[in-house]
Amino acid sequence: MRISRLYVPLALAQNQSIELDDDSAHYIRTVLRLKKDQAVILFNGTGGEFLCTLTEISRKTVAANVGVWHERNVESPLSVSLGLGISRGDRMDWAVQKSVELGVRHITPLLTERCVVNFKDDKKQLRLQHWQKIAQHACEQSGRTILPSFGNIDQLATWASQQQGLKIFLDPHADTSLQALTPDTLQVTLLAGPEGGFSETERALAQTAGFIPVRLGARILRTETAALSALAAVQTLWGDFAQ
């Protein structure tokens, strides 16, 4: 029988008794409908996972005893950071979820000239927390034990100047393909635009910051398709998809 995996934002140690936070408790009690004495795998996003036993499930408390630690590592040797132009609703959620499944290490949501989503300052943190929650659930599903990190919602110009490794931005009008490139280190930064694409000013800004424009075939891809296709491609060329 498959044992449920759950991310918990807690320090974990073998033989420890823990009380789960409200979100985790609700998920175990209401969504998974687990019972006392059932097993559950818990991980806190820093590597490895623990086989645990539920010791209490009530309206007020869900508690567990932390058991044996397993050193599980499904991370790609390729470290990929993704600057993702913010798109509307489900498109952004989908891109975040699938990026985590494809092994992204770091995601920064970016505000660009053609971004169709406007955030008031008090909404930015709520939206970021929403995407972080999606990333946590994607880790649970995909077997990852290291939680990808999130940068704060940022302006493209600020973010682009701070990036490392082989820097690529996705441009359907570019002449270069991914196969023509080779990273000097196992570090790649991808820049994917919003629904309206990059403006000419932004394309020039990215190139000034050292980003190489790259095309993904002859067809123009939607924003979420482009980012995920690029992630799959770099994992195939330089990551763990070929292993």
pLDDT at site 220:
83
Distance between CA atoms of 43 and 46, rounded to whole angstroms? 8
CA-wise closest residue to 84 among 179, 164, 181, 159: 159
Asked whether the predicted pLDDT for residue 40 surpasses 90, the reply is yes
pLDDT tens sequence across 191-220: 998 877 888 999 999 999 999 999 998 888
CA-wise closest residue to 76 among 25, 121, 10, 142: 142
Contact 14, 50 (CB under 8 A): yes
pLDDT tens sequence across 96-122: 999 999 999 999 999 888 776 777 777
Q: What's the CATH number for 79-238?
A: 3.40.1280.10
Of the pLDDT bands very low, low, confident and very high (cuts 50, 70, 90), residue 223 is: confident
Structure tokens at 107: 């995601």
pLDDT tens sequence across 151-206: 999 999 999 999 999 999 998 889 999 999 999 999 999 999 887 788 899 999 99
- SS3 call for 28: helix
pLDDT tens sequence across 52-90: 999 999 988 999 999 999 998 899 999 999 999 988 878
Of the pLDDT bands very low, low, confident and very high (cuts 50, 70, 90), residue 6 is: very high
CA-wise closest residue to 10 among 28, 22, 26, 27: 22
Within 10 angstroms of residue 83's Cβ, the number of other Cβ atoms is 26
What percentage of residues in the chain have a pLDDT greater than 70?
Answer: 98
Q: At which residue do the structure tokens 């759950």 appear?
A: 6
Residue 91: its H or E element: helix 89-101
The fold of the 5-70 domain, in CATH, is Ribosomal Protein L25; Chain P (2.40.240)
Higher pLDDT, 172 or 1: 172
Asked whether the predicted pLDDT for residue 222 surpasses 70, the reply is yes
Average pLDDT, stretch 140-147? 94
Q: End-to-end alpha-carbon separation of the chain, Å?
A: 28
pLDDT at site 70:
93
Higher pLDDT, 139 or 23: 139
Of the pLDDT bands very low, low, confident and very high (cuts 50, 70, 90), residue 1 is: low
Residue-range domain boundaries for the chain? 5-70, 79-238
Distance between CA atoms of 58 and 80, rounded to whole angstroms? 41
Average pLDDT, stretch 31-36? 91
Q: Given the DSSP bridges, would you call strands 39-43 and 49-57 parallel, antiparallel or unpaired? A: antiparallel
